[in-house]
């Protein structure tokens, strides 16, 4: 289906590659501040998607479309990938991060639907509903083959106790089942509060009558249920997977069903999807749905609304609510941390213009109140400022850390609550083969950002516009000579700060000037007596 052709103008092209709820994308349709061009083309092959992606700014998918490295490389304008759902295993996150593309998902919108589907699958499995239905539809009235088991009093093992796992447990308790739950983040206290028993995967395998998995597919969870685990289970155990294909080893599950160890399995997800040729589907004990966990009107509307709102938020504010490949900042914290983003970036940008040598190490220290926050986004902004000189707009807060580490820069973050008289202080230090430089900045209440220290010199400089950073020997006349030379070049000084380590020692001048200086102007000033170094810095 095609609704609008791609345009090459400066509109924001939003390309929807999987079927999404039309009500859910209503926020995109009614947005008037942004010039959004919504294009819907579903069911494309990889080649077709690659051929259409070049001018796309936002790619919106569910789980069908594979957003591979090749797709990302072909997408020259892509800024954001939206996943209308939870799992992002269909998106090459490494490639997206390397290219500075933000990935957002909609983690909450389909929780209920997936939990309800899991319960429906478990009940159907216990009572052979799909098999009995099938027989009856084929004219067979068979009441003997489909004797089921009750859920009441049985033990359900829930592996992965996040959003969906918890909701499944609530509902299964309604069926009067006993719940054993495993999640690396589940504490005894929380388990008790939720009315479940905390257990290990092995304990679940040994004790459970039904086992359902609700983890993401990760290296750690791949083949989580395998031959060894099946061997530990009760005879006649029933298995449910409405999370991701691959969490359960499909070959081992097949063997365990054929051997009679496992009485049946209910599967919504498969290693290869569409799973039209999966040998598990040949077994009468296996009931299955084609990845329908999130397929309800409510979930589809909800996840599409969530990603649509994040797209709009991103283009209006530069921030998103549900980032996958950058640290998420709770809403209530964002307002407090956001002003520091720019400060951190400016400190990084300052240092990038102070040295010409390759940076080997960056030490960022956070002092005062700011040290109470998750400072990773601030560090990313500092690194972005540092790299911008050489990477231009290709660097952003998504890929700044990756790009820094890729070129071998060691990054250290330090936190301390004492800020030497400031409420907050961010200090960035860089080390190169031969040099060490540092700059510190703060946010002054009501007055905005200030650079308060350059190397060991105390200053008070607004980090905006054009600066001249002059190092000189502390001798009479140096300041006057610099001012005169700049005046000769028609360069107006707006403010000037001076500092020195000791009388007659090394001193610095930090000048804010009204115009950009040329290399020639810099040389002109640098030739002056007692001037050791002159650097132009634009912030």
Ligand X SMILES: O=C(O)CCC(=O)C(=O)O
Alpha-helix runs per DSSP H in 75-226:
93-98, 111-127, 129-137, 163-174, 188-194, 201-207
Please calculate the CA angle 140-141-142 and round it to the nearest 5 degrees.
100
> What does the CA dihedral 329, 334, 339, 341 come to, rounded to 10 degrees?
10
- Which one among 84, 119, 257, 294 touches ligand NAI, defined by CB under 6 A? 294
Judged by beta carbon, residue 111 or residue 322, the one nearer ligand NAI is: 111
Nearest residue (CB) to ligand NAI, 16 versus 299: 299
The residue among 526, 351, 538, 346 whose CA lies nearest residue 432 is: 351
469, 508 contact by CB (below 8 A): yes
> Which of these ranges, 187-195, 293-301, 440-448, 510-518, lies near ligand X under the rule CB under 6 A?
293-301
Draw the binding track, 68-87, toward ligand X (x: CB under 6 A; -: no contact).
Answer: -----------------xxx
DSSP letter string, 256-275: HHHTTSEEEEEES--SSSS-
Task: By CB under 6 A, tell whether 141 contacts ligand NAI.
Answer: no
Stretch of residues binding ligand NAI (CB under 6 A), selected from 109-117, 465-473, 494-502, 512-520 = 109-117
Q: Cβ neighbours of residue 357 under 8 Å, at least 6 residues apart? A: 432, 433, 434, 435
Catalytic residue among 244, 401, 437, 450: 244
> Nearest-CA neighbor of 326 among 370, 384, 256, 371?
384
Partner whose binding site includes residue 19, from ligand NAI, ligand X, none (CB under 5 to 8 Å by kind)? none
Interface residue with ligand NAI, options 183, 301, 306, 342 (CB under 6 A): 183
Contact 223, 197 (CB under 8 A): no
Kindly state the tokens that stand for 441.
Answer: 């900045």
- Sketch the per residue contact string, 432 through 471, with ligand NAI: x for CB under 6 A, - otherwise: ----------------------------------------
Interaction of residue 268 with ligand NAI, rule CB under 6 A: yes
Total of chain residues touching ligand NAI, rule CB under 6 A: 32
Question: What is the x/- site pattern for ligand X, positions 246-285, by CB under 6 A?
Answer: ----------------------------------------
Does position 293 bind ligand NAI by CB under 6 A? Answer: yes
**CA distance readout (Å), 246 to 104, 201, 271:** 23, 16, 5
Query: 291 an active-site residue?
Result: yes
Residue 219 has a CB neighbour count (10 Å cut-off) of: 6
Looking at residue 449, the DSSP 8-state letter turns out to be E
Site string for ligand X, 18-57 (x = CB under 6 A): ----------------------------------------
Active site residue: 83, 214, 291, 401, which one?
A: 291
Which residues from 194-253 bind ligand X, rule CB under 6 A? Answer: none
264 - beta bridge partners?
Answer: 238
Sheet holding 466-473, edge to edge: 493-500, 506-513, 466-473, 531-538
By annotation, the residues acting in catalysis are 244, 273, 291
Q: Which residues bind ligand X (CB under 6 A)?
A: 62-63, 85-87, 110, 291, 293-295
Q: Which residues bind ligand NAI (CB under 6 A)?
A: 85-87, 107, 110-111, 114, 159-165, 182-185, 214-216, 218, 220-221, 242-244, 268-269, 291, 293-294
């Amino acid at each position: 289906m095609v609704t609008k052709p791609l345009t090459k103008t400066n509109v924001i092209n939003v390309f929807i590659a999987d079927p999404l709820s039309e009500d859910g994308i209503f926020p995109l349709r009614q947005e008037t501040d942004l010039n959004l061009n919504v294009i819907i083309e579903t069911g494309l092959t990889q080649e077709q998607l690659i051929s259409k992606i070049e001018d796309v700014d936002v790619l919106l998918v569910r789980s069908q479309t594979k957003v591979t490295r090749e797709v990302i490389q072909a997408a020259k304008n892509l800024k954001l990938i939206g996943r209308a759902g939870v799992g992002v295993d269909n998106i090459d996150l490494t490639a997206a991060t390397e290219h500075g593309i933000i990935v957002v998902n909609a983690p909450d919108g389909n929780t209920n639907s997936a939990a309800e589907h899991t319960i429906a699958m478990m009940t159907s499995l216990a009572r052979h509903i799909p098999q009995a239905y099938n027989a009856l539809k084929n004219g067979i009235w068979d009441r003997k083959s489909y004797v089921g088991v009750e859920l009441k009093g049985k033990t359900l093992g829930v592996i992965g106790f996040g959003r969906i796992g918890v909701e499944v447990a609530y509902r299964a308790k309604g069926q009067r089942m006993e719940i054993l739950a495993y999640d690396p983040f589940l504490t005894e206290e929380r388990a008790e509060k939720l009315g479940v028993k905390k257990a290990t995967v092995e304990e679940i395998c040994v004790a459970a009558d039904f086992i359902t998995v609700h983890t993401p597919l990760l290296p750690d969870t791949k083949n989580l249920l395998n031959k060894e685990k099946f061997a530990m289970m009760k005879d006649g155990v029933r298995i449910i997977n409405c999370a991701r294909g691959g969490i359960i080893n499909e070959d081992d599950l097949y063997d365990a069903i054929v051997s009679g160890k496992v009485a049946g399995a209910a599967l919504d997800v498969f290693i290869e999807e569409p799973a039209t040729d999966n040998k598990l589907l040949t077994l009468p004990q296996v009931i299955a749905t084609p990845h329908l966990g999130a397929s309800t009107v409510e979930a589809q509307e909800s996840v599409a609304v969530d990603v649509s709102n994040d797209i709009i938020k991103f283009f209006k504010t530069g921030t998103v609510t549900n980032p996958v490949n950058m640290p998420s900042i709770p809403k209530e914290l964002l307002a407090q941390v956001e002003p520091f983003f720019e400060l951190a970036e400016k400190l990084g940008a300052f240092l990038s213009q102070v040295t010409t040598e390759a940076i080997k190490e960056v030490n960022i220290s956070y002092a005062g109140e700011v040290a109470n926050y998750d400072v990773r986004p601030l560090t990313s902004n500092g690194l972005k400022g540092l790299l911008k000189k050489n990477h231009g707009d290709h660097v952003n807060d998504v890929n700044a850390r990756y790009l820094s580490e890729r070129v071998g820069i060691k990054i250290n973050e330090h936190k301390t609550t004492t800020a030497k008289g400031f409420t907050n202080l961010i200090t960035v230090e860089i080390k190169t083969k031969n040099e060490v430089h540092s700059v510190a900045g703060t946010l002054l209440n009501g007055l905005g950002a200030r650079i308060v220290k350059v190397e060991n010199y105390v200053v008070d400089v607004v980090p905006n516009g054009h600066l001249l950073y002059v190092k000189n020997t502390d001798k009479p006349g140096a300041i006057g000579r610099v001012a005169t030379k700049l005046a000769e070049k028609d360069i107006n000084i707006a403010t000037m700060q001076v500092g020195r380590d000791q009388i007659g020692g090394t001193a610095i001048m930090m000048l804010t000037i009204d115009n950009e200086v040329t290399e020639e102007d810099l040389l002109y000033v640098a030739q002056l007596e007692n001037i050791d170094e002159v650097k132009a810095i634009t912030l």
